[in-house]
Amino acid sequence: MSVETIMLESKKWAVVGATDDQDKFGYKIYKKLKDNNYTVYPISVKCKEIDGDKAYKELADLPEKVDVVDFVVNPRIGISIIKQCKDLGIKNVWLQPGTVSEEILQYAKDNEIEAVQACVLVALS
């Protein structure tokens, strides 16, 4: 079974970079996961609520540990997020197109974090 398949079978996700702007990928990804019966937590520094759900400022604020963290943020922000994943013991990250950097990939490898580089919207279609 591929790493991508294993992650997609994991049902607790956080979307970092979630937004209430329905035209942006941060919203579309959050909504797609939610509509596919995932428990999904929006992580947003700008929004208090997304699609009627409480948004959280950072991963450490979540009420439970998630299986996968989906990155919808610039790689400059992403490096701090992957460090939070390590600190919280989260071993799976999903890197949307445009969120990847060599630094993030190397950090994931060095810290035994699985990193998938793909669009979750395509994967769930």
Mean pLDDT score, 101-112: 97
pTM exceeds 0.75, yes or no: yes
Q: What are phi and psi of 43, to 5 degrees?
A: -110, 115
pLDDT over 90 (residue 1): no
CATH of the domain at 34: 3.40.50.720
Buried-exposed string 86-105: b where 16+ CB fall within 10 A, e elsewhere: eebebebbbbbeebeeeebb
What separation in angstroms does the CA of 87 have from each of 24, 47, 60? 29, 24, 9
Arithmetic mean of pLDDT, 17-22? 96
Average pLDDT on 42-58 reads 95
22 within domain boundaries: yes
Pairing of strands 12-16, 68-71: parallel
- Predicted confidence at residue 65, as pLDDT, reads 96
Q: Please tell me whether residue 57 adopts helix, strand or coil conformation.
A: coil
Confirm whether 123 is domain-assigned. Answer: no
User: What confidence tens digit (pLDDT) does each residue in 57-96 have?
Assistant: 999 999 999 999 999 999 999 999 999 999 999 999 999 9
Residue 78, in any domain of the structure? yes
- Characterize the bridge pairing of strands 49-50 and 53-54: antiparallel
